[in-house]
């Protein structure tokens, strides 16, 4: 079992206008005042489970072992989806069983899945619209204080998994993918991975999104020059399309799901 931790992270689509995030922090503090609560982000687009999953997966490796990650992007709140705790060899994940936590947890060794069904660890009365307050925050707080996860409910065999589309190789010189995430700067993150590109010389690559063709891969944002488009491998190890000192999403009219193709003239790394 992962040892009790004092660190709890929060990843939600709640934004900062409403009091929801603050309420969750209040619940945690009331149960375990010693817990340290760290915000990963509350800027996930509303109900964007995939975006939330990608943000969480990008963050978890930078937290210490034993961290409890609470994630709430929950279009099905109050419905049939289960509230769950996923325990791995490095962390615990608390949230809705809708695939939101599967990318992060899937990179670690899963030890068990707990259905958070024990009402003794819920706030009462339990709302059908705010499980972040009434189920997820209490669960994380109790575990951070040393309550064994199995006391929070019954062990189940499986959890929902989110599948990111894989890029498709078209012959020797072309790989096709799509935009899977847009950050606050308008940068377009694609599902094309570093390993899809590393066999080709950066100067021999062309990246196409819509009618725009970008020649070569850039080492950083500034190298393209203000106003110019560029393609680079970002900190997530994925191909990103950007505009230097600008917003690629707004300028290109491209968002999640937009098709992206990488071509090479045959220049391969020897």
More confident residue, 56 or 265: 56
For residue 143, what pLDDT is reported? Answer: 97
Q: Which residue ranges does the chain devote to CATH 3.40.50.10790? A: 7-156
More confident residue, 269 or 62: 62
What's the whole-number mean pLDDT along residues 155-161?
94
- The rounded mean pLDDT for the chain is 93
C-alpha to C-alpha distance for 127 and 124, rounded to whole angstroms: 8
> Yes or no: is domain 7-156 CATH 3.90.650.10?
no
Q: Which residue ranges does the chain devote to CATH 2.40.30.90? A: 168-264
- CATH homologous superfamily of 168-264: Bacterial fluorinating enzyme like (2.40.30.90)
Percent of the chain predicted with pLDDT > 70: 96
For residue 5, what pLDDT is reported? Answer: 54
For residue 197, what pLDDT is reported? Answer: 82
For residue 269, what pLDDT is reported? Answer: 37
The band of 173, judged by pLDDT with boundaries at 50, 70 and 90, is confident
For residue 2, what pLDDT is reported? Answer: 52
pLDDT single digits (tens) 108-133: 999 999 999 999 999 999 999 999 99
pLDDT single digits (tens) 180-225: 999 999 999 999 998 888 777 778 889 999 999 999 999 999 999 9
C-beta of residue 142 within 8 angstroms of C-beta of residue 119: no
pLDDT single digits (tens) 13-32: 999 999 999 999 999 999 99
């Amino acid at each position: 079992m992962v040892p009790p931790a004092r660190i709890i992270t929060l990843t939600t689509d709640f934004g900062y206008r409403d009091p929801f995030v603050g309420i969750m922090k209040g619940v945690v503090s009331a149960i375990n005042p010693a817990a340290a609560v760290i915000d990963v982000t509350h800027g996930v687009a509303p109900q964007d489970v995939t975006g939330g999953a990608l943000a969480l997966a990008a963050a978890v490796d930078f937290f210490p072992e034993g961290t409890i990650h609470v994630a709430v992007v929950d279009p099905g709140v109050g419905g049939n989806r289960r509230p769950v705790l996923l325990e791995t060899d490095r962390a615990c994940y608390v949230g809705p069983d809708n695939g939101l936590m599967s990318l992060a947890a899937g990179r670690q060794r899963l030890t068990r899945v707990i259905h958070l069904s024990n009402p003794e660890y819920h706030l009462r009365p339990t709302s059908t619209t705010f499980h972040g307050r009434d189920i997820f925050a209490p669960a994380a707080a109790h575990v951070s204080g040393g309550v064994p996860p199995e006391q929070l409910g019954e062990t189940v065999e499986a959890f929902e998994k989110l599948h990111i589309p894989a890029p498709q190789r078209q012959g020797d010189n072309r790989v096709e993918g799509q935009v899977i995430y847009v950050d606050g700067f308008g940068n377009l993150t694609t599902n094309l991975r570093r390993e899809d590109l590393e066999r080709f010389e950066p100067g021999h690559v062309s990246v196409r999104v819509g009618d725009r063709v970008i020649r070569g891969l850039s080492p950083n944002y500034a190298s393209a020059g203000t106003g110019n488009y560029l393609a680079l491998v970002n900190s997530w190890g994925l191909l990103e399309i950007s505009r230097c000192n600008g917003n690629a999403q707004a300028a290109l009219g491209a968002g999640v799901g937009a098709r992206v193709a990488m071509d090479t003239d045959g220049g391969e790394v020897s």
